[in-house]
Amino acid sequence: MNKILQGKIIKNQALTERVYLISLKIPFSIDAKPGQFFILRMNERHDPLLGRPFSIYDLEGDKLSFLYRVKGKGTKILSKLHIDEEIQLTGPFGRWYPFPKDDYVVIAGGIGIASVYYLMKKFPKKAYLFYGARDKKEIFFYDELKNIAKDICISTECGAVDYKGVVTEAFREKGINLNLPIYACGPMVMIKELKNLLRDKKEMHCFVAVEERMACGLGACLGCVIETTDGLKRVCTEGPVFNLNELKL
Ligand SMILES: Cc1cc2nc3c(=O)[nH]c(=O)nc-3n(C[C@H](O)[C@H](O)[C@H](O)COP(=O)(O)OP(=O)(O)OC[C@H]3O[C@@H](n4cnc5c(N)ncnc54)[C@H](O)[C@@H]3O)c2cc1C
Ligand code: FES
């Protein structure tokens, strides 16, 4: 059941020029699952009018965190908010990642790591993580990730850490034969490439979180629909987690 909450900012830290980690203290502990998201309202002036959706990055009782990239008006306002300021948020929304029963693969592209960190934290030491970032400074929380993953392969364009190239290539070379369920989040180009790679591996389960643009967040406006093998589906209520086989990309 989703709720309207008032969150008090306890941290809003710039990790790079455009990526921030915000942590909010909410009035009570909540239960939310990895892959779900909240809609954050940036201010009381209703400009922008609509809240913005963000995946749960981390949740510990009454402390809820989001990792976000500054894109436009809403996220810019968010990045300027200070400790002790309050913000309204609604959630948790959406379908979560099915819980892994044993080892699993995680593929995260860029800020997509925001959607899978909490999954790996809840199911630790079982994930083979493939994490692709533009460059070294865009690799967030490396030490924490190393602690909660079973194995980690970081890919960057310059090859500064483990692999030189895109994350799907790293996965193709080092992960595809693991034959484990896959949990993925990243830009649409990554999801498309993953679909290509898995075209002949129909037996492999791959769950992806899709980050479409949204308006109401409640299933009413159809502003977030995507094409699936079962017709158009709303990312906000029928997603954001889908089976990759379902998606028409
Ligand atoms: C379920 C879900 C979970 C998300 N989780 C996260 C998260 O954890 N961290 C994070 O940084 N972002 C996340 N996003 C994306 C985030 O919601 C958008 O970046 C944000 O709404 C942009 O708001 P804005 O007002 O700053 O930008 P706007 O002014 O609304 O848009 C600025 C630019 O960003 C583009 N844009 C807006 N929304 C998206 C989107 N969803 N995908 C790609 N481009 C977009 C616009 O086309 C435009 O070019 C998520 C989106 C969804 C639907
Ligand atoms: S955002 Fe309105 S239906 Fe999904």
Which residues are CB-neighbours of 38 under 8 A, at least 6 positions away?
53, 54, 56, 64, 66, 89, 90, 91, 92, 93
Whether 21 lines ligand 2, by a CB cut-off of 6 Å, is no
Asked if residue 241 and residue 126 are part of one domain, the reply reads yes
CA of 239 to the centre of ligand 2 (A): 11
Query: Which portions of the chain are predicted below pLDDT 70?
Result: 43-47
Asked if residue 226 and residue 109 are part of one domain, the reply reads yes
| Atom from ligand 1 closest to the CA of residue 78 | 26
Asked if residue 18 and residue 56 are part of one domain, the reply reads yes
Whether 51 lines ligand 1, by a CB cut-off of 6 Å, is no
Asked if residue 229 and residue 108 are part of one domain, the reply reads yes
Mutation choice for ligand 1 from 213, 224, 241, CB with most ligand atoms inside 8 A:
213
Asked if residue 147 and residue 241 are part of one domain, the reply reads yes
Asked if residue 231 and residue 149 are part of one domain, the reply reads yes
182 domain-assigned: yes
Asked if residue 198 and residue 120 are part of one domain, the reply reads yes
- Closest-CA residue, ligand 1 atom 34, reads 71
Range of 135's domain?
Answer: 104-246
Asked if residue 165 and residue 80 are part of one domain, the reply reads no
Whether 75 lines ligand 1, by a CB cut-off of 6 Å, is yes
Q: How many structural domains comprise the chain?
A: 2
The span from the CA of 151 to the CA of 122, in Å, is: 16
Instruction: Tell me what pLDDT residue 46 has.
Output: 63
Instruction: Tell me what pLDDT residue 43 has.
Output: 67
- pLDDT per residue as tens digits for the range 44-89: 666 677 889 999 999 999 999 999 999 999 999 999 999 999 999 9
Q: Using CB atoms within 10 A of its CB, is residue 205 exposed (0-12), middle (13-18) or buried (19+)? A: middle
Instruction: Tell me what pLDDT residue 229 has.
Output: 95
Asked if residue 215 and residue 123 are part of one domain, the reply reads yes
99 domain-assigned: no
Instruction: Tell me what pLDDT residue 44 has.
Output: 64
pTM for the full predicted model: 0.95
Instruction: Tell me what pLDDT residue 105 has.
Output: 98
Among 93, 122, 149, give the residue marking a domain's end. Answer: 93
Asked if residue 13 and residue 69 are part of one domain, the reply reads yes
Instruction: Tell me what pLDDT residue 196 has.
Output: 95
